[in-house]
Amino acid sequence: MLVMELVLLLSSNMIVSRHSFVKAIHFYLSHVIANAPEYPGLFPEARKQVNAPSMFFCRNLQTTTYEVVKGSYVPVTQTKSETANEEKTPRKLESVGAFQRLPMVKPSVDILYSALRQAKKISPTKGIVNIAKRERNRGARQLDALTKELGIPLREYLENFPNKKYLHHYERSLIELTLGDGKYEEVLGRVNALKKKVVSVGKEHASLCAKSTTKREAEERLSEGMKKLEAIFKLEAKAVDDLLNIAKTLRAVPVVDLETPTLCLVGAPNVGKSSLVRILSTGKPEVCNYPFTTRGILMGHITVNYQRFQVTDTPGLLRRCDDDRNNLEKLTLAVLSHLPTAVLYVHDLTGECGTSPSNQYIIYKEVRERFSNHLWVDVVSKCDLLQKSPVDNITEDGDEDSLEMARYRKAGPEGAILVSVKTETGLDELKSRVHDMLISQLDKLKSESASPES
């Protein structure tokens, strides 16, 4: 009767949890043992000591769920390991700022000489009277210490330099464009190979030294092992120094806060972006009259009504397809692609920046179309020079400009602000428009973070 009740209990639920199943079995066995007849001839003492059954579970305990198929319950068995794999969530991408958490890499020469110095301080284990045993003990311990002093820093570097695939898309792009495609992984691979070589050779020579039969043999094997480890480390020391340079380069990249609205200045080279950054923010970029003055991402800040915003100056864009762009131009596109930015697009129609107005217009149309979801303000710089520059309405092939191109050459895109840093023309309007756009960008970020899909 009790068995039927147990079967009904288990079949009454479509899904039987492990906890409920164990409780039911435990209850059933307790009832059976409590009501079992006495058998005096079969271990009577042991029979009296039984209070309740003991339950044992293997590591890969199976759990059973039931599915309804054509009106019948069909069991579906899963092992614990399979369930664990289903519950395991994929690793999330890290937020920006990983470069500032990079370890401080020591120069290879410092690691080597520090390791040699520490290893030579190691003395033999106390209490060894036999001279040969004491010497081989000292040699093995010193070689083991040298191996650790060389290998442990390398291991810590490898553990603390992040895997590129887990970085934010923006920082992943910075690695590729700043260091070169594959350089980051190649250097880490060389450091890992050096670590493995040091550990392998160190263990081998420590073992040989520990097997020495005489004091002289132990001293010779110690000297040989020390020289071998030193030679191996010196041979591949450039990998450590390259890693040091990578850490310095990446650590110098400005930190971007993804939750703070960012104003990104975009345009052709030498159109006056850096001058506007100096006017709008706390950033102090280099300002010179030649293209590609901005050789990386420069960051400044704006404070509006006690609210802090970011301003970034980017390298200039030229008229060419993406495959032909250099890493500086790709860096600009990476900022627009992977960071929540509002765009301040700068135009120079004087013809003195090195990029003709017609080419600037083509670049502008391409970027505007590609990043149409960004908040946008257009500004025409150097307007004091623009008034003195003649407007050429004829294209290079001799055809008459389209009306849109003619308007662009005269005053830039529709709604553009004409400014001059030299005469301060239009700067107040520019600051007001920029502040309004950044407030709108802040509201946009808040709404995106509050939406269920984000």
Where does CATH 3.40.50.300 sit in the chain?
A: 262-450
Report the CATH fold assignment for 262-450. Answer: Rossmann fold (3.40.50)
What's the chain look like in SS3? CHHHHHHHHHHCCCECCHHHHHHHHHHHHHHHHHCCCCCCCCCHHHHHHCCCCCCCCCCCCEEEEEEEECCEEEEEEEEHHHHHHHHCCCCCCCCCCHHHHCCCCCCHHHHHHHHHHHHHCCCCCCCCCCHHHHHHHHHHHHHHHHHHHHHHHHHHHHHHCCCHHHCCHHHHHHHHHHHCCCHHHHHHHHHHHHHHHHHHHHHHHHHHHHCCCCHHHHHHHHHHHHHHHHHHHHHCHHHHHHHHHHHHHHHCCCCCCCCCCEEEEEECCCCCHHHHHHHHCCCCCCCCCCCCCCCCCEEEEEEECCEEEEEEECCCCCCCCHHHCCHHHHHHHHHHHHCCEEEEEEECCCCCCCCCHHHHHHHHHHHHHHCCCCCEEEEECCHHHHCCCCCCCECCCCCECCHHHHHHHHHCCCCCEECECCCCECHHHHHHHHHHHHHHHHHHHHHHHHCCCC
Residue 60 reports pLDDT greater than 60 = no
What pLDDT score was predicted for residue 68? 46
Q: Residue 293: pLDDT band by 50, 70, 90 thresholds?
A: very low
User: pLDDT, tens digit, for every residue of 170-212?
Assistant: 999 999 988 988 999 999 999 999 999 999 999 999 999 999 9
User: pLDDT, tens digit, for every residue of 17-38?
Assistant: 555 655 666 666 666 555 655 5
Mean pLDDT of the chain: 80
- Mean pLDDT value across residues 274-279: 86
User: pLDDT, tens digit, for every residue of 396-408?
Assistant: 454 555 788 888 8
Residue 115 reports pLDDT greater than 90 = yes
> What's the CATH number for 98-251?
1.20.120.1190
Where does CATH 1.20.120.1190 sit in the chain?
A: 98-251
Decide which of 261 and 292 is more confident.
Answer: 261
